[in-house]
Amino acid sequence: MFINVSKWKCFVVEIFIYLIFFLIFKDYYKN
């Protein structure tokens, strides 16, 4: 169970980082 939770956490963090990176890149490209 702990391993599953850890993998889920890693997955969520990865998606979150990608989303932030995409938003920053979009904002930077716009300006």
The burial of 17, by beta-carbon neighbours within 10 Å (0-12 exposed, 13-18 middle, 19 or more buried), is given as exposed
Report the alpha-carbon angle 16-19-21, nearest 5.
Answer: 110
Burial of residue 27, with CB atoms counted within 10 A of its CB: 0-12 exposed, 13-18 middle, 19 or more buried:
exposed
- In this predicted structure, the answer to whether residue 20 has a pLDDT above a threshold of 80 is yes
Q: How confident is the model at residue 25 (pLDDT cuts 50, 70, 90)?
A: very high
Mean pLDDT, the chain, whole residue set: 87
Q: Which residue has the tokens 């989303």?
A: 19
Answer yes or no: is pLDDT of 1 > 70: no
